[in-house]
Structure 1
Amino acid sequence: MKISKVKLTAVGVPRHTGFVNKHVIVQLETDEGAVGIGEMSDFSHLPRYSVDMKDLEATLDSILIGKNPFDTADINRELDLNFPQALYYYEKGSFIRNGVDTALYDVCSKFLGVSMSDLLGGRQREKFKVCYPIFRHRFIDEVEENIEVVRGRLEQGFDTFRLYVGKNVDADEAFLDRVYSEFGDKVTIKSLDFSHLLDWKDALRATRRLAKYRFELVESPAYWNDFEGLNHFRLQCEFPISEHVWSPRQQYEMIKKDSVDIFNIAPVFIGGLTAARKAAYAAEVAGKSVLIGTTQELSIGTSAMAHFGSALPHLNYTSDPTGPELYIDDIVTQKISYENGYLRLPDRNIAGIGVDLDWNKIEKYRVPDLSWGDVSVHQLQDRTSQTRG
């Protein structure tokens, strides 16, 4: 089997907040008729540069056409050379590699007539617990808005939430006080997610201030790649510490400095399922736990993460992929499903990734490019409405 054509399609799908996220759908056609799909998720994020779609498609043509999609190791090495790792959280090259790698696994599993999870080691679970994100408070009047989000999502079965913090700690504290006074034990706060906004000392002060409220762990409480600062925070904090993995080198430094308890692994940030599996194996050898992270993918990317998570033996904490619930729509015929706060895997009898493209939806949300327009830095950072500050 050989790859015969690469097709990229950009879509812009609005979130319920009003922010429009741009993603790229990848299709890999083969001479055997099997077609694999992947998702380059969330180009609408800092750093504020994008890629040229025509140039990207031509580059991937030169890399992929004529290759056997089962040669995932060789293809990923070539992708690394063309879109190198930059030791940065939102490196766009990682998004590109991830979309292609997902499509490789999809086309190979479809060709074999098996579920993608079977190529990733086999299922150890049919579902896993996920949390719904509460986005960062900039203003105190956003507390009431976010309480309403908790109220609505709790009715839908989501009882665990991840709270982005650090920009307005007064508002963070007010929110947590409202959550536990109104919902009590019905709601769990999985984590305080600082997203590298603060240095470790300021993050530690904020964590200690908020520690009177219940939460399970702390995420990204230092500037990115500050491995020593992360270690200092961990030694002085009573809660487990989680950090994203965005390159093998960065993970090596975190293991070397003993900086974390939990590795947050998302294929989009480390550049695909192949790299994510390596990161999960490294975590297991190092005696660390794992959770599945997210940039809030559509159903294609979320389905890939569901298959990845299904095969992990040390998925010990609540994970993050609830992206399809954040958007007003999707670009597949049937969205991946959630049940009582759990992400459910697609039916194992369905070959491949388990979701199908809906071309009517794709045409509805198709965009010509990945340009930025007048989106502000705050909107990119916090995924806020185009009309709010």
Structure 2
Amino acid sequence: MKISEIRLTVVGIPRSTGFVSKHVIVELDTDEGLTGIGEMSDFSHLPHYAVDVFDLKHSLEDILLGKNPFDISLINKELTANFPEANFYYEKGNFIRNGVDAALHDLCAKALNISVADLIGGRIQEKIKVCFPIFRHRFMEEVEENLAVVRTRLAQGFDTYRLYVGKNLDADEAFLDGVKSEFGSKVTIKSLDFSHLLDWKSALQATKRLSKYEFQMVESPAVQNDFDGLHHFRIKADHPVSEHVWSFRQQYEMIRHDSVDIFNISPIFIGGITSARKAAAAAEVAGKGCLMGTTQELSIGTAAMAHLGSSLVNLNYTSDPTGPELYIADIVKNPVKYENGYLLVPGRDRPGLGMELDWNLIEQYRVKDLSWGQVSVHQLQDRTTQTK
């Protein structure tokens, strides 16, 4: 079996906030009539530049056409040579490799008539505990809006939340106080997520201020790649520290500096299921826990994470992939499902990732390219349409 054609389709799907996130649907056809699909998820990140999809398609054709899709390791080696790790959180090359790698796994599992989870080692669990994101407060009036989000989502079964913090601590504190007063033990705050906005000393001060409220961990409480600062924060903080893995060199440095307790591992940020499995194995060897992070994927990308998470022996913390719940639409006929705060892993009766494209929806949301035009930096950072 050989890869015979590559198609990249760009869609722009609005979030419930009104912000439009752009994704690339990857299709890999073979000479035996099978097609694997993947997702280059949510290019709406800093740095503020876009990939040329026409050039990207031709680059991937040079790498992939004529290859055996089961040569996943060899293909990933070539993808990394062409789209190398840059030691940066939102590196677009990782997004590209992730989409192709997911399509390869989908294609190979379909060829064997098994699920991706079974392809990569089998299922340890059929559902994964997830949390719902509460996006960063910039203004005090957003507190009540976010409390309303908790009311709505709690009624839908989401009882655990990740709170982005660090821009307006007064509002962060008001929100946590509101959660405690209104919901009590019904709601769990999984983490305070600083997203590298503050240096470690400022993040430590903020964490101490907010520690009167209960939360399980602190995420990204230092500037990117400040391994010493992350270590100092971890030593002085009373809560476990989590950080994303966006390159193997960065993960090595975090292990060497003993900077974290929990590795936040997501295929989108490390470059695919193949790389994510390596990162999880390195975490296991280092005696660290894992959770699955997110960039807020659509159902294809989220299904890939569900299959990955179902096979990990050290996925021992609440994970983040609730992306499909944040968008007003999806691009598949059978979106992933959530039940009582858990992401359900697609069943064994659906080979590959278990996703089927819906071309009516794709045509409705198709856009010509990944350009962001006049979108401002803070809109990209906070995924908002508000400019006040």
| Alpha-carbon distance in structure 1 between the residues aligned to 2:334 and 2:71 | 30
State the partner residue of 1:58. Answer: 58
State the partner residue of 1:228. Answer: 228
Post-superposition shift, 1:348? Answer: 1.2
State the partner residue of 2:5. Answer: 5
The answer to whether structure 1 residue 208 and structure 2 residue 211 are counterparts is no
- Report the TM-score, using the length of structure 2 for normalisation: 0.99
State the partner residue of 2:309. Answer: 309
In the comparison of the two structures, how many residue pairs are matched? 388
State the partner residue of 1:246. Answer: 246
Matched position secondary structure for 2:95: helix
- Report the TM-score, using the length of structure 1 for normalisation: 0.99
State the partner residue of 2:387. Answer: 388
Matched position secondary structure for 1:183: helix
Post-superposition shift, 1:92? Answer: 0.3
Deviations 1:246-284 (A, max 9, x none): 000000000000000000000000000000000000000
| Alpha-carbon distance in structure 1 between the residues aligned to 2:13 and 2:221 | 30
Percent identity (aligned): 71
State the partner residue of 1:74. Answer: 74
| Alpha-carbon distance in structure 1 between the residues aligned to 2:155 and 2:348 | 29
State the partner residue of 2:194. Answer: 194
State the partner residue of 2:177. Answer: 177
The answer to whether structure 1 residue 43 and structure 2 residue 54 are counterparts is no
Alignment of 1:2-151 (within 5 A): 2-151=2-151
| Alpha-carbon distance in structure 2 between the residues aligned to 1:219 and 1:134 | 14
Matched position secondary structure for 1:353: coil
State the partner residue of 1:342. Answer: 342
| Alpha-carbon distance in structure 1 between the residues aligned to 2:268 and 2:90 | 9
**Larger deviation, residues 348-357 vs 9-18:** 348-357
State the partner residue of 2:168. Answer: 168
Matched position secondary structure for 2:378: helix
Post-superposition shift, 1:374? Answer: 1.3
State the partner residue of 2:285. Answer: 285
| Alpha-carbon distance in structure 2 between the residues aligned to 1:230 and 1:260 | 7
State the partner residue of 2:370. Answer: 370
AA in 2 matched with 1:216:
Q
Post-superposition shift, 1:201? Answer: 0.1
AA in 2 matched with 1:193:
D
AA in 2 matched with 1:98:
N
State the partner residue of 1:265. Answer: 265
Post-superposition shift, 1:119? Answer: 1.2
State the partner residue of 1:357. Answer: 357
Post-superposition shift, 1:15? Answer: 0.2
Deviations 1:216-251 (A, max 9, x none): 000000001000000000000010000000000000
| Alpha-carbon distance in structure 2 between the residues aligned to 1:302 and 1:160 | 18
| Alpha-carbon distance in structure 2 between the residues aligned to 1:2 and 1:298 | 28
Post-superposition shift, 1:347? Answer: 1.1
| Alpha-carbon distance in structure 1 between the residues aligned to 2:208 and 2:121 | 40
State the partner residue of 2:157. Answer: 157
| Alpha-carbon distance in structure 2 between the residues aligned to 1:348 and 1:126 | 10
Post-superposition shift, 1:334? Answer: 1.5
Matched position secondary structure for 1:88: coil
AA in 1 matched with 2:387:
R
AA in 2 matched with 1:248:
F
Matched position secondary structure for 2:302: helix
The two structures, once aligned, show a CA RMSD in angstroms of: 0.5
AA in 2 matched with 1:113:
N
| Alpha-carbon distance in structure 1 between the residues aligned to 2:74 and 2:315 | 28
| Alpha-carbon distance in structure 1 between the residues aligned to 2:259 and 2:45 | 26
Large movers: runs of 4+ above 3 Å = none
State the partner residue of 2:255. Answer: 255
| Alpha-carbon distance in structure 2 between the residues aligned to 1:94 and 1:331 | 22
| Alpha-carbon distance in structure 1 between the residues aligned to 2:119 and 2:87 | 28
Deviations 1:340-382 (A, max 9, x none): 0000011112110011000000000000000112111111000
Post-superposition shift, 1:388? Answer: 3.4
AA in 2 matched with 1:63:
I
AA in 2 matched with 1:78:
E
| Alpha-carbon distance in structure 1 between the residues aligned to 2:121 and 2:293 | 19
Matched position secondary structure for 2:76: helix
Matched position secondary structure for 2:179: helix
Deviations 1:274-297 (A, max 9, x none): 000000000000000000000000
| Alpha-carbon distance in structure 1 between the residues aligned to 2:263 and 2:324 | 23
AA in 2 matched with 1:148:
A
| Alpha-carbon distance in structure 2 between the residues aligned to 1:343 and 1:360 | 26
AA in 2 matched with 1:176:
L
Post-superposition shift, 1:44? Answer: 1.2
